Amino acid sequence: ATIVSSVTGPGDAPSSETQTPMQRTLLFQVTGKEGLAVANVLLATGGGVNGGSQIYLSPILLVPVPLPTPLQSTVGASDTLQARTGVSMLLGVRVDAAVALNRLALAALVDAIGGVPISVQESVRVTDVAGKTIETVPLGARTLAGVNATTYALTLQPGESQVARMRRFAEVIERVLANLPDDVESMRQVVLSLGSLAKSTATNDELVDTLMAVHAEVAAGSSVEAFLPVTTARANEAAVIRRPLGSALVESLLPEARLTPGESRMTRVVLARAGAPVAKTLAATDSLVSAGFTVVEAGRRPRGETMIVIPDADPGSVSRGTDVAEALGVPRSAIRIFGGGRSVVDVLVLLGDEASLL
């Protein structure tokens, strides 16, 4: 069968053209008392579009690792790259490194800069299993020391939304980043002082270099702060990206960190429903994951036939498209080459309602 070069429609993001990586990214996570990554922010620095960015991610955001898993549950995995890989695959961007701090490490960072000035709008209380208050961050403007700042940033109040906690964490971490040391040696001492309270996929030198760049941009006021739009599900125990708002935000802030076809650890398959029922979509997802692909769901697209869209006629792209077709049990004639200015990474599957599929 012939692979048809005729698609001029949908793509999930990234251009297939090779770009020199200019934006560096660091996934910064903080774990709570139960070891879950309750605070997560993707830091970006450099590039020609903006002066850096901070994209805050919900801890219940489902990331493909390869099965959908809440981001907060990825830090305790034996695979130290799980959080970094999951965020990268979900957002379609390079995540150059990840660092996870426990609450004591965040407290140490706050104390290292002399505390953080915060105007507490609503008091934050920590209770024990019996409901007795054991710690309080009261109303009012004050400079919070490490322990209080950590409680303020990481505590989820009863009935409170994840967004409310994320905003408090953003208040604290922005002030920490803005007030980190200006010289390399002092920054190195800060990183080394964290010791076993932090784990990172980067070397100390790489972490120092990235934090120096992020600090300079935040201190200068040129860094953009944003919260990834999500839709919550499963009684607020899970969240998915709200499309197209979430994808547009990532593309606007991280244009030079976008993945190119074949760059990710595993083949990234973006799966969109083009008329297929939910049951067929779930079956297709299971087939692709079983075949070793990472699947990112992209919601609904206009009804049509099933197509497997690849970015170009490169042998690697054709091979990935063919492998996806085999996993789904569809003919190679369903493969199309994307002809627009934006392409998929690595493969886009438009799942139609044909009865023969799967």
What's the pLDDT tens digit per position in 55-71? 999 999 999 998 899 99
Q: Is the pLDDT assigned to residue 10 strictly greater than 70?
A: no
Quote the percentage of the chain above a pLDDT of 90. Answer: 72
Q: What is the mean pLDDT of residues 295-305?
A: 90
Tell me, what's the pLDDT at 49?
A: 66
Q: What is the mean pLDDT of residues 261-286?
A: 91
Per-residue burial over 10-36, b if 16 or more Cβ lie within 10 Å, else e, is: bbbbbbbeeeebebbbbbbbbbbeeeb
CA distance 147 to 220: 27
Measured CA to CA in angstroms, residue 139 lies from 80, 118, 136 at distances of 39, 10, 9
Measured CA to CA in angstroms, residue 324 lies from 11, 268, 333, 334 at distances of 16, 10, 12, 11
Q: Is the pLDDT assigned to residue 50 strictly greater than 90?
A: no
The model's confidence at residue 33, banded by pLDDT at 50, 70 and 90, is: confident
Q: How many CB atoms lie within 10 A of CB 264?
A: 18
Tell me, what's the pLDDT at 344?
A: 60
**Contact indicator for 307, 280 with CB cutoff of 8 Å:** no
Residue 239 identity: A
DSSP states along 148-209: HHHHHHH---TT--HHHHHHHHHHHHHHHHHTS-SSHHHHHHHHHHHGGGEEESS-HHHHHH
Tell me, what's the pLDDT at 261?
A: 87
The order of strands in the sheet holding 268-273 is 4-7, 335-338, 307-310, 347-351, 268-273, 294-300
CA atoms within 13 A on the CB side of 75: 25
Model pLDDT for residues 132-190, shown as the tens digit of each residue = 887 889 899 999 999 999 999 999 988 899 999 999 999 999 999 999 999 999 999 99
Tell me, what's the pLDDT at 122?
A: 87
Measured CA to CA in angstroms, residue 313 lies from 6, 259, 320, 338 at distances of 12, 18, 11, 9
Q: For residue 282, give the H/E element and its range.
A: helix 278-290
Mean pLDDT of the chain: 88
Q: Is the pLDDT assigned to residue 328 strictly greater than 80?
A: yes
**Contact indicator for 59, 38 with CB cutoff of 8 Å:** yes
The order of strands in the sheet holding 224-227 is 198-200, 97-102, 24-31, 37-45, 53-57, 224-227
Q: What is the mean pLDDT of residues 285-304?
A: 93
Higher pLDDT: 75 or 354? It is 75
Measured CA to CA in angstroms, residue 126 lies from 116, 221, 293, 302, 338 at distances of 20, 33, 42, 48, 53
- Which residues, at least 6 apart from 220, have a Cβ–Cβ distance to it below 8 Å? 51
Total-model pTM = 0.89
Quote the percentage of the chain above a pLDDT of 70. Answer: 89
Tell me, what's the pLDDT at 353?
A: 81
Q: Is the pLDDT assigned to residue 20 strictly greater than 60?
A: no
Residue 170 identity: A
Model pLDDT for residues 194-228, shown as the tens digit of each residue = 999 999 999 999 999 999 999 999 999 999 999 99
Q: Is the pLDDT assigned to residue 356 strictly greater than 90?
A: no
The model's confidence at residue 358, banded by pLDDT at 50, 70 and 90, is: low
Q: What is the mean pLDDT of residues 324-338?
A: 94
Q: How many CB atoms lie within 10 A of CB 350?
A: 26
User: Among candidates 274, 291, 358, 330, which has minimal Cα distance to 66?
Assistant: 291
CA distance 288 to 269: 8
Tell me, what's the pLDDT at 17?
A: 47
Ranking 83-92, 98-107, 298-307 by mean pLDDT, the lowest is: 298-307
